[in-house]
A and B are shown apart, each in its own frame.
Chain A
Amino acid sequence: MADERIPFATHAESTVLGADEIVLNMGPQHPSTHGVLRVKLRLDGEKVIGSECVIGYLHRGVEKIAEHRSYQQFAPYVDRMDYVAAVSNGLGYCEAVEKLLGTEAPLRARVIRVILTELQRIASHLFWLGTHALDIGALTPLFYCLREREEILKIFEKYCGARLTTHAFRIGGLQYEAYDELEKDVERFCKPFDKRVDEYESLLTENRIWVGRTKGIGVLTAKEAIDYGASGPVIRASGVKWDIRKAMPYAAYDLYKFEIPTGQNGDTYDRYIVRLEEMRQSRLICLQAIENIPTGPIMGKVGKVLKPPPGEVYHAIEAPKGELGYYIVSDGTTQPYRVRIRPPSLINLEAFDKMIRGHLVADVVAIIGTLDIVLGEVDR
């Protein structure tokens, strides 16, 4: 008798209530998946009991393109990966190739690289904060954040003529000398910037609704974060003090003093706090750096045609989103034999399923937001 039970409808479209589980499809055309991410959610009512991220809608074969371009020619392509933080991408690539060549950029170039990269980190976090807050429903922070980001983009524009995909650095150093008022511009931006961060905090940090929406959402413990290979603010919010700028200093980071902000709970709220604190630290780094920009050449000794010796190199930097690694294999010709990029967004996105399980549908946007993914980088 008991076995005559009529089976539940299991396909999503049949019913809202009748089935125990339904499958909801978010994206790739959805306002809050930050581009073309598609998430398949298995729902029990409003509760998410499983998820699957479908990626690749923005795949452009960046790694394959690298095999048919010379080392210099490939540099602009990396800007198109994490288009919100193009400068950081360029830094990683240039340093990786420099490592392959066995040279290093002159100190002046490295200091300017640090300034621009930290500004880019601030810009990226600002953009993240604005869109994340917008996803959770706060309209206003977006405009404040974009107002500040605009200042940074203006500095980039003055420096290299481009705002978004800057291609700011060259292999071996810099192409452009710093313009005369760079220090002044950076200072003018950085001096009042911590007040601005306080402003964002006053809108969100203590807000009951914001705390309710983010505290305890998408928890990732330290062990899980390490197991998933998470990096950047995601792992730091879980309480792991891991920052490549400190662990394996590159560029000129060993010259400057800064803190690594960490959280304890590894939830969305902690990631928010960590990123805000990182903006403050980046500001401090910029202020330290502009105090004393060493004089000297901006371009190291590299030839017009780059022919690195056969071999391989892995170089990682701390991009705004986490560990951005370049693994380059050279066969001694002018073109790399293989380039493999470790994008932080992709690896962090792996933890999505772990983070979303047991939460409600509305938390999906909060968690996608808190991971700070850029689909250009996830799909490459």
Chain B
Amino acid sequence: MIPTSHYLFLSLALFTIGVIGVVTRRNVIIILMSIELMLNAVNINLVAFSRLVGSAEGHAFAIFIITDAAAEAAVGLGIIISFFRNRETLLGDEMDLMKW
């Protein structure tokens, strides 16, 4: 039997790695991917708790999170494409103009 806390530690590890990716990397695509990683870590939590209490509500929330991740990826990549088209760069710290 695997204790629920192990799922939480796994989730925590993935989440922290995701945070590290977001705050240290310069490449916007990697930042987006790290965000996906964080969302994913949350999903593990939800499903583990769902298993613990024996209800499917956690699954439902996980599905909402995946939906959200899809929406975020679509819009985020759209922004990246238009940004890249205008500035020829993918680096987050070069995104320093509010208005062109």
Q: A: which residues have CB within 8 A of B?
A: 2, 5-6, 8-9, 17-18
Contact = CB atoms under 8 A, between A and B. Distances in A.
Nearest to A1: B100
Nearest to B97: A1
A297 B90 CA distance: 82
Contact of A17 (B85, B87, B89, B100): B85
B88 A17 contact: no
Interface of B: 81, 84-89, 100
Nearest to B87: A6
Contacts of B84: 17-18
Contact residues of A: prevailing secondary structure: loop
B85 A9 contact: no
Contact of A8 (B81, B88, B89, B100): B88
Contacts of B88: 6, 8-9, 18
Contacts of A2: 100
B11 to A, nearest CB: 36
A8 to B, nearest CB: 7
B48 to A, nearest CB: 40
A288 B100 CA distance: 76
B82 to A, nearest CB: 11
Most buried by A among B81, B88, B89, B100: B88
A9 B89 CA distance: 11
Nearest to A7: B88
Contact residues of B: prevailing secondary structure: helix
A6 B84 CA distance: 11
13 contacts: A2-B100, A5-B86, A6-B87, A6-B88, A6-B89, A8-B88, A9-B88, A17-B81, A17-B84, A17-B85, A18-B84, A18-B85, A18-B88
Contacts of B87: 6
A375 to B, nearest CB: 39
Given A6-B88, A8-B88, 11 more contacts: A2-B100, A5-B86, A6-B87, A6-B89, A9-B88, A17-B81, A17-B84, A17-B85, A18-B84, A18-B85, A18-B88
Nearest to B81: A17
Contacts of A17: 81, 84-85
Contacts of A5: 86
Contacts of B81: 17
A5 B100 CA distance: 9
Nearest to A6: B88
A11 to B, nearest CB: 13
A110 B81 CA distance: 68
A39 to B, nearest CB: 27
Contacts of A18: 84-85, 88
A9 B85 CA distance: 10
B71 to A, nearest CB: 22
A8 B100 CA distance: 16
A108 B87 CA distance: 75
A9 B88 CA distance: 8
B78 to A, nearest CB: 13
A21 to B, nearest CB: 13
A304 B85 CA distance: 73
B97 to A, nearest CB: 9
A18 B84 CA distance: 7
Top 10 closest A-B pairs, CB basis?
Answer: A6-B88, A18-B88, A6-B87, A18-B84, A18-B85, A9-B88, A17-B85, A17-B81, A8-B88, A17-B84
B99 to A, nearest CB: 9
Contacts of B100: 2
B69 to A, nearest CB: 24
A155 to B, nearest CB: 60
A129 B88 CA distance: 46
Contacts of B85: 17-18
A203 to B, nearest CB: 42
Contacts of A8: 88
A2 B89 CA distance: 17
Nearest to A5: B86
A342 B47 CA distance: 77
Nearest to B88: A6
